[in-house]
C-alpha cells in the first residue's frame, strides 16, 4: 500500500525543509553539552521542533487536495487514494522520526550524564506520540476545501481544548463555591497536543503536570485518539469529493462546527465572568458591550466562512439561545448551591489544615469585631508608628488610611492533628461562607471580608508542605474576640494581626505585625524587623 516512487517524489519536493529541520535539530542538540539542565533544554527544543513539523508537513503533503489544478494532476496518476494517503503519512512520520533520532542520539553522546530514560525509549515513545499528532492534524487539514481554511481550522481545533478548559474552569471557580482555578486537570485529556507535551515532560523530568490523573488515563486517551482519528482520516480522504477543491469549507465539522462552538464558549464565559458573592449579575452595561463584541466577531467569522457579510435570523436565534443557556446555567447553579457540588467537599479528614484571613480598610469603625478590638488595644489615640530603617527615624502613620487584617494558621504539627473543637469551628465558618456566597452576602456595605483556605491531606515537609485537595471560600464570617483568644491559646495555632499605614512624611506605606499570645498583642519581630511598639 506504499508507493516508493511517490515517497521519492515527496522527498525531492520537500528535501530543503527536511534538511533545514535536521540542521536545526543538530544545532539544538549541542547548545550546552555536559550540563544536566542544558540537556533538558535541548530535549525540549528538539521536541518543540518536531511538534512544529507535525503541523507543517501534513499541510504541505496534503495541500494538493485543496487546489483544483493539483487534484486534476494527482488523482489520474496510477496510484490509489489509499497509496496517496498511506505514503503521505509515512513520509511525515519518517521525517519526524529522523529528527527525533538525530537529536536524541546527539544529546545522549554529547552529555556526560545519562537520560532519565534511555534515548531509545525516548525516541520510540515520542515517535509514537508524534505519529498520533500527525494523524490528528491531517484530519483537521482534510476538513477544509482550500489551504487558507485548512490553516484556520487546524489552528481552531488545536486551541479549542484550551478554550473549553477556560470555560469549564471559569464556571467552576465562579459558580461552585470553594472551587479554585486550575482544578480541572482532567480536561487536559481533551487535547492530543497537550498529551504529547505531557509525555515529553514525563520523559524529561519524570513527572506529569496533571496532578491526580493516573497514567492509565493518559495511555487510554492516546490509544483512543489513535483509533478514532485514524478511522476519520481514512474516511475523510477516501470519500473526499474532488470537485470541492478550492471551494468554501462547508463540511459540518469544519467552519459550521468551529464557529458555533467558539461563539457558544465565548458567550458562556461572558455570562459566568464576574459572578461572585457580591452579586450574581450576568447582564450590565459592561457586559452588554462584551456581548455585542462577541456577536460582531460571530458575523466576521461567518464572513471568513462564506466570503460575504450577512446577517440571518438563524444567527440571531442561535446567539440568543447560547446567551439563555449561559444565564440559565448561572442562575441554576445559584439556586442549587452549585448543583450540590459545593457541599461535596472532603469530610472527616484528620489531616485537614485551615488558613483564615479577615481584612478591612479602616475608616473609623470596622464591621469586624476583632479588627475594632485590635485597633482599640494597639493603636493609641488613632496614631500608629513604625521605624524607617533608611532614615533611622520613627514615622507616624495616618489613622485615616490604615488597612488591618488578621490571619489564623491552623495546621497539623509534628504528629498531631487539629482538635475536634478547632475543626468544628472552621467547618462552621466553611458552611456559613457557602451560604453567604449563594445569597449574595452584603452587610451594611461590607462584603464579609473573610477568606478561608482548606487543605485536605495536609503533610509537612522539611522545606514546605503538600496537600491532596484545596478549597477557597470568599465571604467567610468574621471570628469573634473570644474565638480568636481561644484559638491563640491552642497549641499549633498562630493568630497574627497586621496593620498597614501610610506615612505622609516620606509618602510610603509601612507594615506592622503582631502575634496574639495569652490575650496580649506581642510585636512580631520575626515577621517584621521594622516594627516597633506602638505609643
Q: What pLDDT digit, counting tens, does each position of 247-265 carry?
A: 999 999 999 999 999 999 9
> What is the distance between the alpha carbons of residues 429 and 448, in angstroms, rounded to a whole number?
12
Distance CA 337, CA 280 (A): 13
What does the pLDDT look like over 115-128, one tens digit per residue? 556 778 888 888 99
DSSP 64: G
Residue 231 reports pLDDT greater than 90: yes
Confidence of residue 459 (pLDDT cuts 50, 70, 90): confident
Helix ranges, 143-191 (H): 147-175
Measured distance CA(373)–CA(151) in Å, rounded: 64
Average pLDDT, whole number, for the chain? 82
Q: Give yes or no for a contact between 174 and 276, defined as CB atoms under 8 angstroms apart.
A: yes
pLDDT at residue number 139: 95
Residue 160 scores a pLDDT above 80: yes
* Residue whose C-alpha is closest to residue 452's, from 469, 435, 427, 420: 427
Packed helices 215-238 and 119-142: angle between N→C axes, nearest 10 degrees: 40
In order of 220, 321, 423, 431, 490, the CA distances from 349 in angstroms are 31, 43, 10, 16, 20
pLDDT digits (tens, 9 = 90+) for 194-227: 888 888 777 766 666 565 677 778 888 889 999 9
The C-alpha atoms of residue 354 and residue 197 are separated, in whole angstroms, by: 35
Residue 149: what pLDDT?
A: 94
What mean pLDDT is predicted for residues 346-358? 86
State what percent of residues in the chain have pLDDT above 70.
Answer: 79
Least confident of 71-75, 231-235, 280-284, 330-334: 280-284
Q: How many CB atoms lie within 10 A of CB 243?
A: 9
Query: What pLDDT is recorded for position 89?
Result: 95
CB atoms within 10 A of CB 118: 12
- Those residues with Cβ within 8 angstroms of residue 284's Cβ, 6 or more apart along the chain or in another chain: none
Angle at alpha carbon of residue 289, lines to 288 and 294, rounded to 5°:
95
pLDDT band (50, 70, 90) for residue 95: very high
Buried b (16+ CB within 10 A) or exposed e, 150-160: bebbbebbbeb
| Sequence-separated (6 or more) residues with CB below 8 Å from residue 66 | 144, 145, 146, 147, 149, 150, 245, 246
Task: Answer with the residue of higher pLDDT: 223 or 287.
Answer: 223
Find the largest Cα–Cα distance for the chain. Answer: 97
Ordered strands of the 469-476 beta sheet: 469-476, 450-456, 353-362, 402-410, 493-503, 508-517, 520-523
Task: Using the predicted structure, report yes or no on whether residue 368 has a pLDDT greater than 60.
Answer: yes
Which pLDDT band, with edges at 50, 70 and 90, does 130 fall under? very high
Is residue 529 scored above 50 in pLDDT? no
Residue 317 makes CB contacts below 8 A (sequence gap 6+) with none
Name the more confident of 189 and 94.
94
The helix, strand and coil proportions of the chain, stated in percent and rounded to the nearest 5, come to: 55, 15, 30
Residue pLDDT, tens place only, 7-65: 999 999 998 999 999 999 888 877 755 445 545 677 778 888 999 999 999 999 999 99
Range of lowest pLDDT (34-38, 150-154, 413-417): 34-38
Distance from CA of residue 149 to its chain's centroid? Answer: 28
Asked whether 388 and 531 are in contact (CB, 8 A), the reply is no
Amino acid at each position: 500500500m506504499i508507493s516508493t516512487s511517490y515517497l521519492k517524489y515527496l522527498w525531492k519536493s520537500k528535501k530543503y525543509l527536511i534538511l533545514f529541520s535536521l540542521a536545526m535539530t543538530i544545532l539544538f542538540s549541542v547548545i550546552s553539552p555536559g550540563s544536566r539542565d542544558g540537556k533538558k533544554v535541548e530535549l525540549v527544543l528538539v521536541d518543540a521542533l518536531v511538534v512544529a513539523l507535525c503541523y507543517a508537513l501534513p499541510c504541505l503533503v496534503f495541500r494538493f487536495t485543496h487546489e483544483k489544478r493539483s487534484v486534476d494532476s494527482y488523482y489520474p496518476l496510477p496510484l490509489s487514494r489509499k497509496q496517496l494517503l498511506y505514503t503521505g503519512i509515512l513520509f511525515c512520520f519518517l521525517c519526524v522520526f529522523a529528527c527525533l533520532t538525530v537529536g536524541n542520539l546527539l544529546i545522549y553522546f554529547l552529555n556526560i550524564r545519562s537520560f532519565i530514560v534511555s534515548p531509545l525509549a525516548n525516541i520510540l515513545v515520542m515517535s509514537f506520540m508524534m505519529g498520533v499528532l500527525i494523524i490528528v492534524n491531517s484530519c483537521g487539514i482534510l476538513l477544509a476545501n482550500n489551504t487558507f481554511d485548512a490553516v484556520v481550522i487546524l489552528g481552531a481545533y488545536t486551541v479549542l481544548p484550551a478554550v473549553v478548559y477556560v470555560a469549564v474552569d471559569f464556571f467552576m471557580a465562579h459558580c461552585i463555591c470553594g472551587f479554585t482555578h486550575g482544578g480541572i486537570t482532567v480536561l487536559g485529556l481533551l487535547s492530543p497536543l497537550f498529551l504529547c507535551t505531557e509525555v515529553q515532560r514525563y520523559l524529561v523530568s519524570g513527572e506529569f503536570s496533571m496532578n491526580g490523573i493516573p497514567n492509565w488515563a493518559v495511555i487510554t486517551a492516546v490509544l483512543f485518539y489513535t483509533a478514532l482519528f485514524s478511522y476519520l482520516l481514512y474516511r475523510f480522504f477516501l470519500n473526499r469529493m474532488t470537485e470541492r477543491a478550492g471551494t468554501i469549507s462547508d463540511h459540518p465539522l469544519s467552519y459550521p462546527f468551529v464557529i458555533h462552538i467558539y461563539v457558544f464558549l465565548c458567550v458562556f464565559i461572558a455570562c459566568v465572568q464576574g459572578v461572585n458573592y457580591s452579586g450574581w449579575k450576568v447582564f450590565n452595561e459592561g457586559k452588554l458591550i462584551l456581548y455585542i463584541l462577541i456577536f460582531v466577531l460571530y458575523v466576521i467569522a461567518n464572513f471568513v466562512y462564506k466570503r460575504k457579510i450577512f446577517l440571518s435570523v438563524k444567527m440571531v436565534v442561535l446567539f440568543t439561545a447560547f446567551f439563555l443557556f449561559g444565564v440559565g446555567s448561572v442562575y441554576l447553579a445559584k439556586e442549587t448551591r452549585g448543583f450540590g457540588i459545593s457541599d461535596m467537599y472532603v469530610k472527616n479528614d484528620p489531616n485537614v489544615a485551615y488558613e483564615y484571613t479577615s481584612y478591612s480598610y479602616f475608616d473609623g469603625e470596622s464591621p469586624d469585631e476583632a479588627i475594632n478590638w485590635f485597633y482599640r488595644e494597639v493603636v493609641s489615640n488613632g496614631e500608629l508608628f513604625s521605624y524607617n530603617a533608611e532614615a533611622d527615624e520613627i514615622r507616624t502613620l495616618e489613622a485615616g488610611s490604615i488597612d488591618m487584617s488578621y490571619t489564623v494558621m491552623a495546621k497539623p504539627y509534628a504528629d498531631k492533628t487539629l482538635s475536634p473543637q478547632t475543626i468544628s469551628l472552621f467547618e462552621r465558618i466553611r458552611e456559613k461562607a457557602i451560604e453567604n456566597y449563594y445569597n449574595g452576602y452584603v452587610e451594611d456595605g461590607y462584603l464579609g471580608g473573610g477568606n478561608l483556605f482548606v487543605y485536605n491531606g495536609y503533610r509537612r515537609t522539611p522545606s514546605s508542605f503538600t496537600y491532596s485537595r484545596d478549597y477557597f471560600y470568599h465571604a467567610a464570617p468574621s471570628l469573634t474576640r473570644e474565638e480568636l483568644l481561644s484559638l491563640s491559646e491552642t497549641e499549633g495555632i498562630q493568630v497574627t494581626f497586621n496593620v498597614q499605614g501610610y506615612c505622609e512624611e516620606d509618602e510610603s506605606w509601612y507594615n506592622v505585625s503582631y502575634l496574639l499570645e495569652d490575650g496580649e498583642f506581642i510585636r512580631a519581630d520575626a515577621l517584621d524587623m521594622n516594627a516597633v511598639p506602638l505609643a
